[in-house]
Amino acid sequence: METTRIAILGYGNLGRGIETALAKAEDLELVAVFTRRDPASVKLASADVPVYAASELAAHAEEVDVLVLGGGSATDLPGQTPECAKLFNIVDSFDTHAHIPQHFAAVDAALRESGHVGAISMGWDPGLFSLARVIGNSMLPDGADYTFWGRGVSQGHSDAIRRIPGVKDARQYTVPVPAALEAVRNGENPQLTDRQKHTRECYVVAEEGADLAAIEQAIVTMPNYFEPYDTTVTFISQEELEANHAGIPHGGSVIRSGQTSDGTQHTVEFSLKLDSNPEFTGSVLAATARAIGRLSREGVTGCKTIFDIAPAYYSPLSGEELRSHLL
Amino acid sequence: METTRIAILGYGNLGRGIETALAKAEDLELVAVFTRRDPASVKLASADVPVYAASELAAHAEEVDVLVLGGGSATDLPGQTPECAKLFNIVDSFDTHAHIPQHFAAVDAALRESGHVGAISMGWDPGLFSLARVIGNSMLPDGADYTFWGRGVSQGHSDAIRRIPGVKDARQYTVPVPAALEAVRNGENPQLTDRQKHTRECYVVAEEGADLAAIEQAIVTMPNYFEPYDTTVTFISQEELEANHAGIPHGGSVIRSGQTSDGTQHTVEFSLKLDSNPEFTGSVLAATARAIGRLSREGVTGCKTIFDIAPAYYSPLSGEELRSHLL
């Protein structure tokens, strides 16, 4: 198994998750971390791996086979990924579904011009959940798709609560409605509104003397984020938040329900239960970096998604080993 | 979307399942069925599709883009698939796990020599379950694999009961043990024996005057098939068998349970609940025929498995459509 030299851009939760995943893979070697902070202020979990300023990316391009981007989709990746694609084979986790086509076009153009290969929108949704959707749709063309998220922490919704005056900290869990999940699993093909699919549980630490009723009202009436859902708000202390809500668990299910002939019903389900969203996402990005390293050695160029990569590329096992042990 | 011309070899349960699946796909056209029976005796569900003797395969090779084999793994496919690979792009559902490497080698050699492409061991296990295993192993390299089958009808075990003297008909269901499934889903990583994972339920129609106690004893002590499991035997009438056990449902779950760092646990599960095993398997083979038709048009040759085919190839949607709607 050939070694692939990996660098990480960005050392937040996801960057650390990628680093953790690389430690489990003998053929993937972390050779550098790039940061927009002062490199001297960044302490890696990995010993002896250099930390460089993001401005020095170009100077280290020859030392890296695949650059894995740990940034966020809102402000980091739309600019970073196409820029990095001029110099590196890349992997990112761009997850703003509505903007994927334009992100793909920008990254693909940069990769083709520079002769590199990359994969965008990897992780679990988009990523493994997308794989489950294309498999479900292809094998059951006459059917319906359902995606349930949770029980898990939504960073975006937690941030939205934190922006409300009087809120010190908050954690929001997205929770699938058990009856809806059950109906879908039973092949009942229900039509479900947002409210019927998920509830939202909010754990909020208020500032001293804050108007709790006003905070609760601001949350449950917030358009798009909370108004379309049944939302519960529970005020807790900072200590309780840190003791019971420190993790970043997530997960969910993609279900394809369909029929092959009249009344002959089938259900295909892919589910994840994750203790740590960034560590699992990092693990998917690490396996994708292996795939991109291989595609690059084969001379492939341009932008890929999970739809375009044969599954064997993610595995360190050979074709013979895969056929003997996993087929 | 280009049309792919499909022929089916073998018109048993699986052959009919493939035919049913093709009717749901606008871009897949059934152009012929080949049979080892008298072609005049075979009545297709599809109007206007010719039935030919299997001995005439060579004469129709030019009319067919992909030949899908509906035969069984025990006696049909080991000879048929390599033989057909001399003339056709092929898809089969070879499922004798221990013999996959030698079957792959024989089919690959024939396909390369004739300049064709094919996929073996497609369906759901091997097939979609294998895909779930390689994804689970790649994304969670530090973990354990579990496969549960059922609740579903095992044809092999039903046949084994029918061979016992005094048995007129039988249906055997493989059933996962709920507590074992639950422990695996909870990330407990249990070590499980065959007996702890599955039970076997047998519904038996005895011949008039048969010794029921002797039949039951013959079943529960049968080596490999029933002795390693907790097996229940229920005698029923032929009418009850036909009324309540006529279907061929199946399904199961592949679960990968692992950790990305100490104590950080993740569970990846892929599950199927199928009203009809042959119709769903046929549907997977039909989507694979689409993929093989495309690979052939791209000039690819040789034998593939589900590990070697990028997911987009199974779908009639374009790359742009997939990225917009399913990513």
**Residue A8, class by beta-carbon neighbours within 10 Å (0-12 exposed, 13-18 middle, 19+ buried)?**
buried
Closest chain B residue to the Cα of A94, Cα to Cα: B327
* Chain B CB contacts of A322 below 8 Å: 134, 305, 307
Give the pLDDT of residue A145: 96
* Chain A CB contacts of B310 below 8 Å: 307-310
Assess whether pLDDT exceeds 80 at residue B227.
yes
Task: Split chain A (327 residues) into runs of 10 and give each run's mean pLDDT.
Answer: 95 97 97 97 94 98 98 94 98 95 98 98 98 98 97 94 97 97 94 96 97 98 95 98 96 98 97 98 98 98 98 98 96
Nearest to A135 among B141, B142, B311 (CB): B311
The Cα–Cα gap between B249 and A264 comes to 10
Beta pairing class for B264-274 and A264-274: antiparallel
Closest chain B residue to the Cα of A138, Cα to Cα: B315
Q: Taking the CB of residue A103, how many other CB atoms lie within 10 A of it? A: 21
**Binary contact (A287, B138; C-beta < 8 A):** yes
- Scanning the structure block, which residue is given the tokens 């129709």? B60
The Cα–Cα gap between B125 and A89 comes to 35
**Binary contact (A279, B261; C-beta < 8 A):** yes
What's A160's DSSP letter?
H
Nearest to A134 among B133, B260, B311 (CB): B311
Count of residues making up chain A: 327
**Residue A133, class by beta-carbon neighbours within 10 Å (0-12 exposed, 13-18 middle, 19+ buried)?**
buried
Most B CBs within 10 Å, among A104, A120, A128, A260, to test the B interface:
A260
Give the pLDDT of residue B11: 97
Closest chain B residue to the Cα of A290, Cα to Cα: B138
Nearest-CA distance B4 → chain A (Å):
15
pLDDT digit string, tens, across residues A290-301: 999 999 999 999
Find the mean pLDDT for residues B202-214: 97
Confidence class of residue B47 from pLDDT cuts 50, 70 and 90?
confident
Give the pLDDT of residue A320: 97
Count of residues making up chain B: 327
* Chain B CB contacts of A261 below 8 Å: 20, 276, 279
Assess whether pLDDT exceeds 80 at residue B8.
yes
Largest CA distance in chain B: 66
Token pair of A310 as six digits: 């044969």
Confidence class of residue B40 from pLDDT cuts 50, 70 and 90?
very high
Angle B110-B112-B118 from CA coordinates, rounded to 5°: 75
Predicted complex ipTM: 0.96
* Chain A CB contacts of B134 below 8 Å: 311-312, 314-315, 322, 326
pLDDT digit string, tens, across residues B243-255: 999 999 999 999 9
Give the pLDDT of residue B1: 74
pLDDT digit string, tens, across residues B73-92: 989 999 999 999 999 999 99
Closest chain B residue to the Cα of A137, Cα to Cα: B315
